[in-house]
C-alpha cells in the first residue's frame, strides 16, 4: 500500500470520527428553525460549525466556567464569548454593576460620567494612549482607527498581514496578490477591487517582505495594522525581530503602527500585549491601539486610542469623521468598568496565566502519550494548539504554516471533546480562552477528556492503516 493511500485512508477514518452523531434534539430543532429566518442559521459565520461539521449547540445559559445548551448538557467553556468573559460567566460584581446601570436607563444618546471613568481606567493601564474613543464593536474600532491614520498622515495605503483579522470592513477583506507589486484581491463578494487597491497584504513574521514593502512604497503608507498575537489563525505570536523591525520602519517612513488588541488587550496581560513587547524591546510603543472584548466584559463595546496629537484629528475637533448612536452605552460601560476593576486585583494575571499554561501542558502531554503530534502555546488567559504532521513540527509562524496543520485531526478532536462536555472553538483557526472561573477541577476534567479523545483519534487512524494493508 502506498504512503499516499495510507494517508488518504487515515483522513477518511478521522473524518468519519469527526462527524456529529446528532441526538441534540433542541439544538437540532432550533437550528432548523433558525435557518428559515437567519442566513445559515447564525448571526456570525463561525458559529455555524461549517468548519467542523454537525449541528451548532444553541446555548441556554452560562455560569462561571460552564455553558448549558438547549438540551441541558453542560460544557466547560473555552470560548468565553470569543474572549470577553475573562472573569467567567455571571461574575457577581459585574452582574450588580449591569443591573444597577440598567435600572438607571438603557441608553441616553448623551454623555455620561461612566464613559469618562472607563476612558480614564483604560488610559491608566495603557500608557501609549492619551485619548480614546468608545465604539460598539471591534470592526468599528479598527475601521475608524485606519480612517484616522489616513486622515492624520494624508496617505492612502495600509499594510495588513495574511491571517490577521481586523473586522469585516471592506478594505480589510483582502488576500495577498502574486507579489508586492500587485494589488491584493477581495476575499468577499460585494467588495469592488477598487476598494482594496490601497491595501498591501504581507506574510506575518516575514521581515524581508516588510523591508521590501517599505522600500517600494514607504512614502505612501499611512499605517500598518497588526495583531501582536494572531488569534484568528489560532494562536501565533509576532516574533521580537519582526515587531522591532516593524516599529523601526514605521518610524523611519512616518507610517503609524496600529496594534489591534481586540483579543489581546487586558487578556494576555493587564497592559495588553504591547506591555509585554515594551518589556522585551525597551521604548517600544505602538502609535495607535484598538481594543474590544474584555473592555466590554461581554457587552458590545470597543475602543480606539492614540496620542492626543493623533486623536485631535477626530471629529468634533478635526476633519476625520466618526460617530455612533450607541457609543459609550451606559450599560456596556458599567459592565466593562466592573470587569477592568476586577482584573486589577493582586495576583489575578499570575493565576490566570498559570492555569492556562497548565491546561496547554496537559493537552500536549495527553497527545504525546497517545502518539498524536501536537504543539501549543499560551500567554495570559489566551491559548492555542495545533495538530501537526509530525512530532518534529514547530509552532506555526504564519498563515501558510497554520494551513498546513492537520485539520481532520482537529475536527475529530473537537467533536470527541464536545461529546465529553468540553467546548473548544469550532474551527482550528480560532484561539481559546481561559477565565478566572476555571480552576483545577475544570482543567483536570479537560485533561481527562482529552486523554480519552486523543486515544480515540490515534486508534481510529491506526485502525484505518491496518485495514488497508494487503
Q: Mapping DSSP to helix (H, G, I), strand (E, B) and coil, where does residue 122 land?
A: helix
Task: Please list, in sequence order, all residues whose beta carbon lies within 8 angstroms of the beta carbon of residue 68, skipping any fewer than 6 positions away.
Answer: 59, 60, 61, 62, 74, 75
CA atoms of 145 and 305, how far apart (whole Å)? 8
Q: What are phi and psi of 306, to 5 degrees?
A: -165, -165
Query: Contact, 363 vs 445, CB < 8 A?
Result: no
Q: How far apart are CA 238 and CA 128, in angstroms?
A: 19
Alpha-carbon gap, residue 92 to 76, rounded angstroms:
19
Q: Using CA atoms in the order 268, 432, 89, 270, what is the torsion angle rounded to 10 degrees?
A: 0
- DSSP assigned state of 238: P
Distance CA(311)–CA(294), nearest Å, equals: 22
For the chain, the first-to-last Cα distance in angstroms comes to: 7
Give the number of other Cβ atoms within 10 Å of residue 154's Cβ: 8
Q: Beta 221-226 vs 157-161: how paired, if at all?
A: parallel
Residue 384: which of 427, 447, 438, 442 has the closest Cα?
427
C-alpha–C-alpha distance, residues 261 and 291, integer Å: 5
What is the rounded distance in angstroms from the CA atom of residue 68 to the CA atom of residue 46? 19
Residue of 78, 160, 204, 293 with catalytic role: 293
Among 165, 204, 399, 429, the active-site one is: 165
d(CA 55, CA 48): 7
Cell numbers of 351, please?
Answer: 493565576
- Residue ranges in 18-70 assigned as alpha helix (H): 25-37
Q: Quote the cell numbers at residue 250.
A: 514605521
Residue 293 known to be catalytic: yes
Q: Which residues touch 84 (CB under 8 Å, ≥6 apart)? A: 293, 294, 296, 297, 298, 339
How far apart are the C-alpha atoms of 45 and 36, rounded to whole Å?
Answer: 16
Catalytic, 66? Answer no
| Joined grid coordinates for residue 191 | 467588495
Which of 20, 69, 77, 260 is flagged as catalytic?
Answer: 260
Is residue 269 within 8 A of residue 275, CB to CB? The reply is: yes
Cα–Cα distance for residue pair 343/266, rounded to 1 Å: 8
Annotated active-site positions, please?
165, 260, 293
Amino acid at each position: 500500500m502506498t504512503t499516499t493511500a495510507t494517508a488518504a485512508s487515515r483522513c477518511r477514518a478521522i473524518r468519519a470520527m469527526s462527524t456529529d452523531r446528532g441526538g441534540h434534539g433542541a439544538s437540532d430543532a432550533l437550528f432548523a428553525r433558525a435557518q428559515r429566518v437567519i442566513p445559515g442559521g447564525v448571526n456570525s459565520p463561525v458559529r455555524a460549525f461549517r468548519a467542523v461539521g454537525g449541528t451548532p449547540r444553541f446555548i441556554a445559559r452560562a455560569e462561571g466556567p460552564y455553558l448549558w445548551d438547549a438540551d441541558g448538557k453542560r460544557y466547560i467553556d473555552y470560548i468565553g464569548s470569543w474572549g470577553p468573559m475573562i472573569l467567567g460567566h455571571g461574575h457577581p460584581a459585574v452582574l450588580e454593576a449591569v443591573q444597577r446601570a440598567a435600572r438607571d436607563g438603557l441608553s441616553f444618546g448623551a454623555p455620561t460620567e461612566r464613559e469618562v471613568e472607563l476612558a480614564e481606567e483604560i488610559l491608566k493601564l495603557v500608557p501609549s494612549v492619551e485619548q480614546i474613543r468608545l465604539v460598539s464593536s471591534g470592526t468599528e474600532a479598527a475601521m475608524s482607527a485606519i480612517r484616522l491614520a489616513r486622515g492624520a498622515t494624508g496617505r492612502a495605503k495600509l499594510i495588513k498581514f495574511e491571517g490577521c483579522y481586523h473586522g469585516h470592513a471592506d478594505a480589510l477583506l483582502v488576500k495577498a496578490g502574486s507579489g508586492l507589486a500587485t494589488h491584493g484581491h477581495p476575499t468577499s463578494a460585494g467588495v469592488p477591487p477598487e476598494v482594496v487597491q490601497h491595501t498591501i497584504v504581507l506574510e506575518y513574521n516575514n521581515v524581508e517582505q516588510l523591508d521590501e514593502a517599505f522600500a517600494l512604497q514607504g512614502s505612501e503608507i499611512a499605517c500598518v495594522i497588526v495583531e501582536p498575537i494572531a488569534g484568528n489563525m489560532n494562536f501565533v505570536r509576532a516574533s521580537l525581530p519582526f515587531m522591532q523591525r516593524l516599529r523601526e520602519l514605521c518610524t523611519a517612513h512616518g507610517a503609524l503602527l496600529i496594534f489591534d488588541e481586540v483579543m489581546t488587550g487586558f487578556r494576555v496581560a493587564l497592559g495588553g500585549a504591547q506591555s509585554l513587547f515594551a518589556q522585551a524591546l525597551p521604548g517600544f510603543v505602538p502609535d495607535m491601539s484598538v481594543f474590544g472584548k474584555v473592555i466590554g466584559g461581554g457587552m458590545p463595546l470597543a475602543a480606539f486610542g492614540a496620542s492626543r496629537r493623533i486623536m485631535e484629528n477626530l471629529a468634533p475637533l478635526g476633519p476625520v469623521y466618526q460617530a455612533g448612536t450607541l457609543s459609550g452605552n451606559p450599560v456596556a460601560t458599567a459592565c466593562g468598568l466592573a470587569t477592568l476593576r476586577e482584573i486589577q486585583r493582586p495576583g489575578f494575571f499570575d493565576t490566570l496565566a498559570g492555569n492556562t499554561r497548565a491546561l496547554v501542558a496537559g493537552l500536549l502531554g495527553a497527545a504525546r502519550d497517545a502518539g498524536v503530534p501536537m504543539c501549543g502555546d499560551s500567554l495570559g488567559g489566551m491559548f492555542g494548539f495545533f495538530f501537526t504532521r509530525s512530532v518534529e513540527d514547530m509552532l506555526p509562524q504564519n498563515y501558510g504554516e497554520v494551513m498546513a496543520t492537520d485539520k481532520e485531526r482537529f475536527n475529530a478532536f473537537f467533536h470527541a471533546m464536545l461529546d465529553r462536555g468540553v467546548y473548544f472553538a469550532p474551527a482550528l483557526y480560532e484561539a481559546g480562552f481561559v477565565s478566572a472561573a476555571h480552576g483545577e477541577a475544570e482543567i483536570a476534567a479537560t485533561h481527562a477528556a482529552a486523554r480519552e479523545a486523543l486515544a480515540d483519534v490515534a486508534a481510529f487512524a491506526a485502525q484505518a492503516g491496518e485495514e488497508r494493508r494487503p
